[in-house]
Every structure is written in structure tokens, then in C-alpha cells.
Structure 1
Amino acid sequence: MDHTRWLDDDEQRTWRAYLVAQRLVAEKVERRLQAGAGMPQAYYEILVRLSEAPGRTLRMNVLADSAQSSRSRLSHAVARMEEAGWIVRRSCPTDRRGQLAELTEQGMQVLEAAAPDHVESVREAVFDGITREQQAALRDALEAIVAHLSDTPGWPVTGDSGPDGPDAARAS
């Protein structure tokens, strides 16, 4: 007996459009970030998360969760950014097994330099092609999917509030 809940035609069309759109957006943003700032999107996201944290510091496990990264992948990325002088790691004073990642001033400067072009690439890839109403519908749908699938605290994430706002370097 077949219990497969097959996708109907509308669901299939939505799924395929999502797959293609996700790939096209990710490739465009990644390519431009690599060309302009010389870093992958994953590094940018880590820098953003640290820039938004109190004292620009997070426990490594919290950083991994908030950046939707595995701990081993995050550790490798942080090691590379530490070599570049963007992040420093130190022991957690309240837990000898824990480590903290802290964004350095140099890392903040790198993020601030990369942010304007990155934000523009996100705007071109996503927002220039849809209306405000479509943006709201897309956001509602995506937030519902994230809430359904995610066990990571801190959702939803606030967005870029402009060049002088608290999230000035944010456009992940």
C-alpha cells in the first residue's frame, strides 16, 4: 500500500521554483562577495553574527547554531579568520571546556568594507525582482518554514536597519 504524499502540480512547481531561485541567489551573492571582499558567504555570516553580539563575542557553540553551521565547519572557518586577524578565540571564563570567538577591530573593518556591496548584491538578487507585497508573502512563507524546521533559538533574525542603525553591517 502506497502512503507517499506525492506533490500535486502546484506544489511541484513551487518546489522547483524554490530550488532554482535558491541556487541562483546563493551563486550570485557568493560570487560577488568572493570577488569584492575575498571571502565566502559563510565567513561573512560569522562576522555578522559576531558584530551583532554583545561585546562582539559569542560562545563557539552558540555561533555555530546561529550561523546554521556544524561545529567542525565553524571551527575550521574561525581558525582561518583567526589567521587573518579578524577573530580571536579565548577560553570561556565560566566553562573551561567552552571557547569564545570575538570579532577584532580588523574583522569589524573588513565586515564594514564588505557590507555595502554585499547588501547591494542581495538587493539586486532578491528585492529588485519582487514587489513589497511579494516580499511580505515570501518572508511569511520562509519564516513559517524556518519555524517548522528549526530548533535554533533566536529566530526570527532582525534585518539591516540602514547605514547608521544597530545592524548596519547586516545582510546575510
Structure 2
Amino acid sequence: MTAATPSHRRLATDSWESLLTSQVAMMRELQKEPLFKELGSREYDILYQLSRCSSGWLRLNELNEHVLLTQPSISRMVDRLESRGLIQRKSAEDDKRGVLIGLTEQGVAKQKTVGRAHVQRIMELMEVALTDDEMRTLQDLTSKLRTSVAGH
């Protein structure tokens, strides 16, 4: 790779800042959703990730790979969600020291209720700003970034 020019560095930095500020703007708007008053967006993210798991169960460290929280923060949030009856823990069959986390029936219902409203609001915000082709391009570009970073 050749040395970056000042204009190339500026373009990279400006592109990164644009990506971050648009994400923050979207999150702020999405957090106005009334259902996020009773279940925060980060709490919802944990329920959503658990709902996507084919076995219905994830180890804490696996959950950590999918959410934007530190391990201690996830542990505290899992404790809170468990105390609210939304998730449950069980010992891993292959490793009795390992703990698996899964949704309760109440957690599944809450994730679906909040998820429907969340998806509707995402759709409203995205389709006002972008065409279908632009959304596909955005998806392609962000996937390309993730793949590149994962390769480093």
C-alpha cells in the first residue's frame, strides 16, 4: 500500500465521521420509540441476539461478540434482564462451569413486541433517506468494512 496523501487521510477521516454521526443520529431517533422506555435499546439488543441464535442459547462470551458492550456491562445487564424474567441461565452440558443464556417465554414475547416497533421505525427512517439501491450499496459498503477489519 502506498503512503496516504493528506487529502486521502482527510477523505478517510471524514467518511468515518459521517458513518459514526449518521449512526448516532439514527440511534437517537430510534430511542424515542415509546417501547424503549420500558426496555432500553441495549437491553433489546441482547434479547434480539438471543432470539437469532438457532439453539436458543449463547455463552456470555459469544453474546459479547455480537453486542457493543464490554463484558462487565453485559454481565450486569444479563443480571438485570434475568431479574425481570426476560432471560434465564443454565449450565452448559459439555462444560458444567460454562453458563448459557437464553430467552424466557416472557423474553421472547417482549423481543417480538419491541422488535416489530423497532423494525417499523427503522424502515420509516431509512426509506425517507435512501432508495432501495442506496440501502443495498450501504449494506455492501459496511459489509466490506467489517470483512476488512476482521481480516486484520
TM-score by length of 2: 0.84
Q: 1:103 to 1:125 in 2, by over 3 A?
A: same
Q: 1:31 to 1:12 in 2, by over 3 A?
A: same
How far apart are 1:39 and its partner, in Å?
1.5
1:29-61 Cα deviation digits (max 9, x unpaired): 1232xx224222211111111112134211111
RMSD (CA atoms) = 2.1
Give ranges in structure 1 of 5+ residues lacking alignment.
152-172
Tell me, in whole angstroms, the C-alpha distance in 1 between the residues paired with 2:111 and 2:136: 28
1:53-100 Cα deviation digits (max 9, x unpaired): 134211111111122432211111111100110001122121133110
Question: The residue matched to 1:31 in structure 2 has which SS?
Answer: coil
The answer for the alignment partner of 2:125 in structure 1 is 125
Q: 1:5 to 1:80 in 2, by over 3 A?
A: farther
The percent of aligned pairs where both chains have the same amino acid is 24
1:10-43 Cα deviation digits (max 9, x unpaired): 44543342232111011111232xx224222211
Give ranges in structure 2 of 5+ residues lacking alignment.
none
Tell me, in whole angstroms, the C-alpha distance in 2 between the residues paired with 1:133 and 1:53: 29
How far apart are 1:5 and its partner, in Å?
5.3
TM-score by length of 1: 0.75
Tell me, in whole angstroms, the C-alpha distance in 1 between the residues paired with 2:122 and 2:48: 15
The answer for the alignment partner of 2:20 in structure 1 is 19
Name the aligned partner's letter for residue 106 of structure 2.
Answer: Q
Tell me, in whole angstroms, the C-alpha distance in 2 between the residues paired with 1:13 and 1:64: 29
Tell me, in whole angstroms, the C-alpha distance in 2 between the residues paired with 1:116 and 1:110: 10
The answer for the alignment partner of 1:142 in structure 2 is 142
Corresponding position: 1:97 with 2:97: yes
The answer for the alignment partner of 2:42 in structure 1 is 42
The answer for the alignment partner of 1:73 in structure 2 is 73
The answer for the alignment partner of 1:83 in structure 2 is 83
8 Å Cα contact 1:25-1:126 kept in structure 2: no
Q: 1:10 to 1:64 in 2, by over 3 A?
A: closer
The answer for the alignment partner of 1:163 in structure 2 is none
Name the aligned partner's letter for residue 95 of structure 2.
Answer: D
